[in-house]
Structure 1
Amino acid sequence: HYGGFDYLYDKVNLYDRLCEIVKYGASASALTECWQRVDGLQDHMLNFLENHDEQRVASSQLFGSAEKAFPALLVSATMSTSPFMVYQGQELGENAAGAMGFSGDDGRTSIFDYCSIPTLVRWYNNGNCGIQKLNNKERKIRAFYKKVLRLCNGEKAISEGAFFDLMYVNYHNLNPNKQYLYLRHYENETLLIAVNFDSQDAIVYADIPQHAVDFLKIDSGTYFMKELISGKQKTVEFSSNAKFELHIPAHNGVVWKIVK
């Protein structure tokens, strides 16, 4: 901040760790260290999955699939109050295939030359911007990004709320190498967020410790829950003794909103 920047890329911390988890199979539990490392500085960090320097997540050089990045997207966008950046065409699954100008075939949209971005060209559609010329896969990717970004802008638990890491009480309830879960809380609303980096669906029975209940000032009682990505709904009894059954799709996540 004192160097003249309002925000600093959280590159060597959160971005690099997410890449290691998705591409190389590093443990998802290492994400706990990421927020601890920048605790107190998060308001000055910029979270991202793509920019002009880094490889596209859908490129063959990185993840090879935009969908494999979905759990990383959820973590990067919802873990803190930090702003989250979407790079041009990322929300369409742009893979930067082929050589482009001086940069060669490196999985990046050229940082040296004027160039064309195929997915954006089709979305722009000669000024008639829309999804008409996008294929089904690109439309699904865009729809997922749309849901996540609307959560970031519409849920104060994400944009302004407190964060509580749930991993330390749930190592026996999940595969800590593949799943990660946490709470976001603002006033009378709580979000239970769980992501799954595995290629298989996961069922997790999540514990919420008394410390979280006290720290976030959550009252026990009957709560209405809605999963904000799929739209599923249910009613639960909330207490520090309750277990929350979470079905998490492969390479994806869930965001359960808990309201009394």
Structure 2
Amino acid sequence: MKKCFILVLIFIGLACKDTKKQDTNVMNTNSVKKKEVVYQVFTRLFGNTNTTNKPWGTIEENGVGKFSDFTEKALQEIKNLGVTHIWYTGVPHHDVIRDYTKFGISNDDPDIVKGRAGSPYAVKDYYNVNPDLADNPEKRLEEFKALLERSHRAGLKVIIDIVPNHVARNYEGKSTPKGLEPFGVTDDTSVEYSRDNNFYYVPNVEFKVPVWRDGYQPLGGEQTNLADGKYTEIPARWTGNGSRLAQPDFNDWYETVKINYGVRPDGSYDFDRLPDEFNNKDYKEHYAFWSKKNVPNSWIKFKDIALYWLAMGVDGFRFDMAEMVPVEFWSYLNSNIKMKNADAFLLAEVYNPALYRDYIRKGKMDYLYDKVELYDSLKPIMAGHGWTDHIQTVQSGMTDIEHNMLHFLENHDEQRIASPEFAGDPKKAMPAMVVSATISTSPTMIYFGQEVGEPGAEKAGFGSPSRTSIFDYIGVPTLQRWVNNKKFDGGQSTEDEKNLRDFYKRLLNFTITSDALMGEYQEIHYYNKEHTQGYDHRVFTYCRWSENERLIVLSNFDANKEYQFSVKVPQEIIQKWGLAIGEYPMKDQLYGVEKPTLVIGDDGVGTFSIQVKPLESFIFKVK
């Protein structure tokens, strides 16, 4: 059987002078054979078909999605989009402003809850799930287990959130299994710090609700018995973002309290440090190291929580604000997780590039958000004023950890691409998505609604336009059109929305089947800037290859300009590919275009002429 050579052309502004190969240790030790794709879905919004969208609306007014909305049909359509993992955001039981007392759930105080639906990162009970998501709140955990089973039958692995840095200010943990204790139950509240306290305290001082400003009032000013500007907490505890004030500021994470991991108030550590040589040791050796140590109580509590969800069938976790928790804790937690499930998918939110390698190597994280590097580089290019040259600057700096840096263009913290505050047009994400999904061996993540161009325009209440609110009961209009009264067939989608989703589907399915995207990378952007007339910083080209596939990725980031020129593939790469002088017909793998032809001349340089429309990308296969 003849081998096929693939050229992926993505006309995108990606500049790269550094032709360093990827770290072979990263590649050879990687057990993942194909790319992975994560679909992040805000669980309570996905199946909501109510289009009222009243600011600060209740469930009755604005509706809410349920676990049961993820039907076999819905999950199969998500899988068919080219998805391998689904991240159900907002599953653990967090604060909500709704009366569930008949189910044994206490009411939550609006003065310490953001929005009416509450923040998914203010968890109130780690051993149960959000009652809003259940058809029968009394059976909410059983309904989640059923969702797990449906997801697995659809061929999807399941990720949920764990938020080790903080918990809800009114954490109760009513569902904590027998023999275990909720956070804070045995704390010594007379002292600011003790190693085995779960929280930090402001001794003998009562907590005070923040001073509201900028016109903000809990629940939009609705008068209730609980929204009275008071919340009883004696003594006060440190707030989740580290504020030590008994009355946190309005911009602090006042709805949460910070977890104590054995870090003293002066910043010194009250636990054994991990020796530097553990950078190169596997999770089994990390596990053995900690099995001989006495660790702070909070470490054990979160280990028990993670193992509880693993035993239920969850396949991995997204860890919120991981850099605010000591790397030694992650070594402890993740090695315990991997001992139970070596294939568990562990994704962390870390924004400080100086910490990346510690959290991957010492902390045993599989993946970190590539936000500060690639995302922040692509954002101005999508908005129309960035140079693609910077993409290679970022990529060359990630050579040793490129596989570990998960790529995304949207998530719940970022602006929607289609919002006027960002790019204003979802099509401007198309070349960026091709680059994001094909430039490295790392997983790709998309946020629900991204595939149909959701602009996040609603004034939801606590949430503000441009980001789909994670705090309010709200509808997601473009997604609702695709959901089509729970037929999940795009029956109400516009032609533009259908075409955009088709693009994502074609691209993502290609990425999860390509061998070359788990292989080598080399940019040819700078070579073409030097040798190709008409080529500039609004386009980007690079090569990916494996033993069986050869790819050239080329994308046009310009929304207004069409390019026509002859792309050149340098002799160095042609030699690595083992191609002789001659002509090689190519076929685009996105839309099936059977042109152009790669011509390798006497000088060993490959050339092909191409016309690229605004925002267009190609993936060509050399036959």
SS in 1 for 2:609: strand
2:16 counterpart of 1:16: no
Alignment of 1:166-185 (within 5 A): 166-172=524-530, 173=532, 174-185=534-545
Alignment of 1:7-156 (within 5 A): 7-105=367-465, 107-156=466-515
Structure 2 residue identity aligned to 1:218: G
User: Offset of 1:230 from its aligned partner?
Assistant: 2.7
What is the alpha-carbon distance in structure 1 between the residues aligned to residue 536 and residue 424 of structure 2?
24
Pair 111,5 (structure 1): closer, same or farther in 2 beyond 3 Å = farther
What is the alpha-carbon distance in structure 2 between the residues aligned to residue 204 and residue 151 of structure 1?
26
What is the alpha-carbon distance in structure 2 between the residues aligned to residue 203 and residue 29 of structure 1?
19
Q: Which runs of 5+ in 1 are unaligned?
A: none
What is the alpha-carbon distance in structure 1 between the residues aligned to residue 536 and residue 411 of structure 2?
29
Pair 24,223 (structure 1): closer, same or farther in 2 beyond 3 Å = closer
Alignment of 1:169-248 (within 5 A): 169-172=527-530, 173=532, 174-198=534-558, 199-214=560-575, 216-220=576-580, 221-234=582-595, 235-238=597-600, 240-248=604-612
Moved over 4 A (4+): none
User: Offset of 1:111 from its aligned partner?
Assistant: 2.5
Structure 2 residue identity aligned to 1:167: H
What is the alpha-carbon distance in structure 2 between the residues aligned to residue 59 and residue 78 of structure 1?
25
Structure 2 residue identity aligned to 1:190: R
Moved more, 171-180 or 63-72: 171-180
What is the alpha-carbon distance in structure 2 between the residues aligned to residue 230 and residue 217 of structure 1?
24
User: Offset of 1:24 from its aligned partner?
Assistant: 4.5
What is the alpha-carbon distance in structure 2 between the residues aligned to residue 210 and residue 130 of structure 1?
47
* Counterpart in the other structure of 2:615: 251
What is the alpha-carbon distance in structure 1 between the residues aligned to residue 367 and residue 471 of structure 2?
24
User: Offset of 1:73 from its aligned partner?
Assistant: 0.8
Q: Which runs of 5+ in 2 are unaligned?
A: 1-359
SS in 2 for 1:102: coil
**Superposed CA offset, 1:115-159 (max 9, x none):** 32112222222321111111111101111111111111122212x
What is the alpha-carbon distance in structure 1 between the residues aligned to residue 544 and residue 515 of structure 2?
9
* Counterpart in the other structure of 1:164: 522
Which structure dedicates a bigger proportion of its chain to strand?
1
User: Offset of 1:4 from its aligned partner?
Assistant: 5.1
Structure 2 residue identity aligned to 1:49: L
Bigger relative CO (Cα 8 Å, ≥ 6 apart): 2
Contact 2:413 2:467 in 1 (8 A): yes
What is the alpha-carbon distance in structure 2 between the residues aligned to residue 66 and residue 190 of structure 1?
29
TM-score, with normalisation over the residues of structure 1?
0.92
Structure 2 residue identity aligned to 1:16: D
User: Offset of 1:114 from its aligned partner?
Assistant: 3.6
Moved more, 191-200 or 60-69: 191-200
* Counterpart in the other structure of 2:109: none
What is the alpha-carbon distance in structure 1 between the residues aligned to residue 440 and residue 621 of structure 2?
16
Structure 1 residue identity aligned to 2:599: E
Pair 95,197 (structure 1): closer, same or farther in 2 beyond 3 Å = same
SS in 2 for 1:103: coil
Structure 2 residue identity aligned to 1:210: Q
Structure 1 residue identity aligned to 2:588: E
Pair 98,114 (structure 1): closer, same or farther in 2 beyond 3 Å = closer
What is the alpha-carbon distance in structure 1 between the residues aligned to residue 507 and residue 404 of structure 2?
21
Moved more, 85-94 or 118-127: 118-127
Moved more, 198-207 or 217-226: 217-226
TM-score, with normalisation over the residues of structure 2?
0.40
Contact 2:598 2:607 in 1 (8 A): no
What is the alpha-carbon distance in structure 1 between the residues aligned to residue 397 and residue 499 of structure 2?
34
What is the alpha-carbon distance in structure 1 between the residues aligned to residue 484 and residue 381 of structure 2?
36
Moved more, 42-51 or 226-235: 226-235
Pair 237,104 (structure 1): closer, same or farther in 2 beyond 3 Å = closer
